[in-house]
Structure 1
Amino acid sequence: MHKVAVVVQDHAEPFGLGSLVEVWGEPYHPDDDNPVFDFTVCTPRPGRVKGRAGYDLFVEHGLEATLDADLVCFSPTHAMLDFDPLVLDAACAAHERGAVVFAHCGAAYILGEAGLLDGRECTTHWRYTEHLARRYPKAIVRPDVLYCHDGNVLTGAGSAAGIDASLHLMRQRFGARVAASTARRIVVPPHRDGGQAQFIARQVVDYQAETLGAVLTWASERLGEPLDVDTLARQAHMSPRTFARRFRDETGTTPHAWVTAQRLQLAEEMLERTDNSVDQIAAEVGFGNAATLRHHFTRARGVSPQVYRKQFAC
């Protein structure tokens, strides 16, 4: 994947477009050897594109930029249900020839209108998931996730989740090291799992109360050790039940899912950067044995640790 085209339309949302530019549009990388993409912003009718935040865009390129792009992104627009037939045709054509088509937030409606969500898992901003499901009943809408990747169709939830979806795709195509250095460049967390909840019900607590940040740091430094709920709760000086509830409220996921995700991320890095055997890596990251690592890794990443190493080893 080396050519990326982003389709913008009138009433373009600046954050949605900006998130795509930040991940895929960096023209050079002085601090790493990450890939540089042939990146183009395009629109159905080149020229002035109306914005939604007090300023407009000037876009030089038309939709011909999508014809040979490996990744075709559809940037969110405030006019979600104002469908341009040219854009729908571009989405269908890109999908038909095997390009990855990616839409986040309200742009998911473009893929729905084009029929590309039929029979696929997908998501959008939590405000619109029920409406998306009603409008496109053949789509499998998952309302409480950050992103869905089904075949060559990628959909992300609202706002910052577009970055998570992009980093997921970058991780899948180029490995954990490239995705992590990209995240570091744009100053965001390197990985939020797609199954993490969109809406985190963070409770209002007294300003002197401790958060879970110290516990998460403590756990991330001890992934090779047992990290069940009881162990984490003792470190947080809470009962297991209170800790599990607080953890879900503050992170959007469960302690077990969070620990598993951290161990998988560390396993990815070790597969890329070391010659350690899968058994050694499994022990060091806390899975205990190669069979358990293979089970979790294949389930989460879609390939075995050995295949991942062949693809991304430095």
Structure 2
Amino acid sequence: MRVLVTGGAGYIGAHTVQLLAARGDEVVVLDNLGSGKIERIGSTPLVNLNLSTATVEEVEAALREHAIDAVIHFAAHKQVGESVAKPAMYYADNVGSIAKLVMAMENAGVHKLVFSSSAAVYGNASGAITEAAPAEPISPYGATKLIGEQILSAAAQAWALRAASLRYFNVGGAGDAKLADSVALNLIPICLDHIAADTAPVIFGDDYDTPDGTCVRDYVHVVDVAEAHLAVLDALPEEPGNVILNVGTGVGTSVRQMVDALLAVSGSALAADVQLRRAGDPAAIVGDVTAIKEFAGWSARFSVDDIVNSAWQARQPAEAQS
């Protein structure tokens, strides 16, 4: 296939680009390099375009020029806190981008799309979450992902769009040092930044109703997430529709377990600094991944140890990795 990957120079996008190229697909990246890194995609052709400001005609031209067969859509703002501070920007850019992309695909006759959604659509849900759980996002970021899903479902009723929306949980690790998550927005890179600065990593709350009192989350390796996109793309049915699928491991790991594992792999003698709970943090949330296994035959291959070890190794100087 000829696959266009929007946001393909980003963390998850670049891992997906690498896997597509490795299996022989022709890949084109659409990215304005605002947060993506050109070195992540190597010689992969780049359409330097900002979806949030581009016209439908510009996106359509890129699809036609490269004879695209399918699209994997990652490009979006993705910071929950920033979305609370700048909600209008998130709605304008995230929702506007997918709307223009879908219109351009219809015009260009491109019928296959895999959308990077998020478990943030579940809001304050807790426990083992299936795709049938209420979608009640509590941040503008989560709301824009849900609206993106709704656009795809509506478009699939209007024309022959074959789509899937992947709601993934806590992504971590690295498949390659140059593809590592370099932005400290999630627990793993934040904790590694603390360790590098020789300051105690922070745990928010240790009085939850969980085995060790800290929040429990579903951590999934970034390579598993990238492989999920390929598996779902290959499994898209012939009939139009938008299938909603969780991407996770189905296994919960506590924040303390994750922090302790990162401290251990780094050899640090630091101890976690436990602070008060943050508002809105559910005690435990884990993805039920039965549906994606049945739909695409996909299951996560990597463990939490794999996530921790690969994230730590990717932070080491190049000479230490050889």
* TM norm structure 2: 0.35
Structure with greater contact order relative to length (CA < 8 Å, sep ≥ 6): 2
Q: Which structure has the greater CA radius of gyration?
A: 1
* TM norm structure 1: 0.36
